[in-house]
Every structure is written in structure tokens, then in C-alpha cells.
Amino acid sequence: MTVASHREPGPRADFWTGPRLSESATVSLVLIVFVAANAHRITVSFASAPDCVLHPTREGPVTYAAVKPSC
């Protein structure tokens, strides 16, 4: 009776090769940066002064001005 001391290499044995690891790390980094940038954008949009949005001042030819004069 013989006991196999090592495992035969199969399709899953060399799954995480160097190129696959670097590609996975790059994709993960890009996704993290994308999510962080969008989270920052949403945070800034809620923290900004919404009363300073430009709007038309009168009917007719469009002239824009801030809602509050202090903006």
C-alpha cells in the first residue's frame, strides 16, 4: 500500500499566478477608487450650500443669478 505524499497538479493548482494576481489587484484598486470618489462626491453635494444654485431671475431672456445675494 503506497501513500501519495504530494498532490498532482490540476486545473486549480496554479489558479493564482502572477499575472492573474496583478490583474485582480488592479481591478480591485480601480473599483475602490471609483467607489471612494463617488462617496466623496455625494458627501460634498450634501454639504454644499443648496441656496446658492443659479436660477433664472425673470421670464423672457434667460439671465441667471444666485438665489441669495450673499452667494
Number of domains into which the chain is organized: 1
**45 in a domain, yes or no?**
yes
State pTM to two decimals.
0.53
Average pLDDT over residues 38-61: 73
Q: Residue 64 falls within a domain, yes or no?
A: no
For residue 39, pLDDT over 60 is answered with yes
pLDDT score of 30: 98
Alpha-carbon distance of 23 to 59, in angstroms, equals: 56
Residue range 7-34: average pLDDT? 85
- Whether 66 has a pLDDT exceeding 60, the answer reads no
Domain around 41? 22-49
pLDDT for 16 = 80
Is 57 contained in some domain?
Answer: no
Q: Do 67 and 53 contact (CB within 8 A), yes or no?
A: yes
In a domain, 36, yes or no: yes
Backbone angles phi, psi at 28, to 5 degrees: -65, -45
pLDDT, position 29: 98
Mean pLDDT of 43-50: 78
